[in-house]
Structure 1
């Protein structure tokens, strides 16, 4: 079975991850709040779709935040296969452009 992540979202997520790994640490740290906001938003959507309360995603720093983003994108499309891929791809593109 393949990934539940639609191709357009997967492509944009890959671009974000590649760009993130090129950033100097100080720049990555300055962009952490916007990335964490998206991670938390996705986590909240997943929790809601599973009938669970939203809980804060721990801040594990810039070395881990893109792993958290990747997991939350995967979880979103696993929990909500009908989630709008364009909406998620746009949010990821916004992050990428801010980097």
Structure 2
């Protein structure tokens, strides 16, 4: 899981700003799904610059909570990034 998370983060950091903005809804969906699975609270929309940090935190929360198929979900997300 941690390896796949780092792959997503690395890919996100390589994206030009316009591509990151276009990919934000997909990342945001995963972030909110993970929040729903762990804390059950809405995650504030703070923009693409902070979104990947929100993902990192929520992935670790989800891993601690035992959310299944986390690595697969991250791999799917990474494949959607332009």
Structure 2 counterpart of 1:57: 43
Count residues in correspondence.
81
Q: CA RMSD in A?
A: 1.0
**What does residue 77 of structure 2 align with?**
95
Measured in 2, the distance between the counterparts of 1:75 and 1:98 equals 23
What residue is the counterpart of 1:22 in the other structure? 14
Partner of 1:70: 56
Query: Normalization by structure 1: what TM-score?
Result: 0.77
Q: 1:88 to 1:55 in 2, by over 3 A?
A: same
Secondary structure, in 3 states, of the residue corresponding to 1:63? helix
Gap regions ≥5 residues in structure 1: 1-8, 48-53
Q: Distance in 2 between matches of 1:41 and 1:14?
A: 19
Q: Which structure 2 segments of 5+ residues have no match?
A: none
Q: Of 49, 65, 83, which residue of structure 1 is paired with 2:67?
A: 83
TM-score, L = length of structure 2: 0.92
Larger Rg: 1
Instruction: Please identify runs of 4+ aligned residues in structure 1 that moved more than 6 A.
Output: none
Work out the CA distance in 2 between the residues paired with 1:76 and 1:11: 15
